[in-house]
Amino acid sequence: MINNRRAFIVGLKSSVLTNKEIIFLKKYRPWGIILFSRNIRSIKQTKKLTDKIREIFKDKKYPILIDQEGGRVNRLKNIISFDNLTSEYFGSLFERDRKQFNIVYKLFVDKTSYLLNLMGININTVPVLDLKVKGASNIIGDRSFSKNKRIISKIGDICINNFRQNSIGTVIKHIPGHGLAKVDSHKFTPIVGKNLKYLNKNDFFSFKKKKCFFAITAHVIYKSIDKFNTATHSKKIMKLIRNKINFKNIIISDDLSMKSLKDDLKTNIIKTFSAGCNLALHCNGKLSEMRVVGDNSPKVNNFIIKKTSQFYKILS
């Protein structure tokens, strides 16, 4: 049952569930779990882990996420190398030779999906729809498809569609756009000074009209819209995501343990929900912090239940 869960996603400490984690999952019932390299030693071991998680929730379609972009962000590195297959590589191939791109990119998505399905993972947090911007922080860099917003948007559609055909949900990120950030939001708070007209025409463009079940926010301050809050904590930006970018599905915060957010964890969680995020994301697997997230996350509402059910329909 989806309706007895709480509106948050957490990481786990290692490749097997500890007794304390099992107790935590049974008590707090998070909406989903996100896996990292620390959780993945082999295909067989990961399947055992995801089966165990689903057994707790008595739900064969329980949401289990991963950041499997290829290139630098390769959570499957203990199993396979995707080092050269960056988004930037696919973006330049798209510009050079569309036919070749279609073949190679489909192979890449199919192979990734095959592995994820074998391991029991049903959501991949791709595509990155952030613009590649000269002089910006390298945290996006080659994770972006292009400096051309239209190319990003087109490849984004192909990515979402190809994964969906393989029964994998996708997550557009980092809405409404991380490209202009001059610092890494894992460590500092990026502040973007461009005006709304510019942002709407450029950085926000590639996030529009995306048929995607989920989006992850940018921990970025857009000074011309909200001087004080990152997108994750800004009612104004959330309104803009809903009404101008027109994203109508589930909005997930970026990781709440990132240093861009300056308050204590409890305050960060409360601000995340009051701004309008649907799900809070916490990745580091520290049980003491996870309890704070669980204690301060509401039960899933009808909107989340409805959208999760829609997502479940694409799963095989």
pLDDT tens, position by position, 162-204: 999 999 999 999 999 999 999 989 899 999 999 999 999 999 9
The pLDDT value given to residue 34: 98
Q: What is the pLDDT of residue 58?
A: 97
**Which residues of the chain carry a pLDDT beneath 70?**
none
Task: Give the helix/strand (H/E) hosting 31.
Answer: strand 30-35
Q: What's the pLDDT score for residue 209? A: 96
Q: What is the pLDDT of residues 10-56, one digit of tens each?
A: 999 999 999 999 999 999 999 999 999 999 999 999 999 999 999 99
> Is 119 in contact with 65 (CB distance < 8 Å)?
no
Whether 247 and 238 have beta carbons less than 8 Å apart is answered as no
Beta strands in 131-278 (DSSP E): 169-175, 191-192, 214-217, 221-222, 250-255
Distance CA 33, CA 144 (A): 25
Amino acid code (one letter) for 226: D
Going by C-alpha positions, the residue among 9, 51, 7 that lies closest to residue 33 is 9
Q: Would you say the pTM of this structure is higher than 0.75? A: yes
Secondary structure (DSSP) of 269-313 = HHHHHHHT-SEEEE-S--HHHHHHHHHHPPBP-HHHHHHHHHHHT
Q: How buried is 228 (Cβ within 10 angstroms: 0-12 exposed, 13-18 middle, 19+ buried)?
A: exposed
Long-range contacts of 236-241 (CB under 8 A, 24+ apart): 237/176, 237/275, 238/275, 238/276, 238/277, 239/276, 240/176, 240/204, 241/175, 241/176, 241/207, 241/215
Question: In the structure encoding, which two tokens stand for residue 188, read together?
Answer: 């500092």
How far from chain centre, in Å, is Cα 20? 26
Q: What phi and psi values does residue 101 have, to the nearest 5 degrees?
A: -55, -50
Query: What pLDDT is recorded for position 118?
Result: 98
**Residue type at 84?**
N
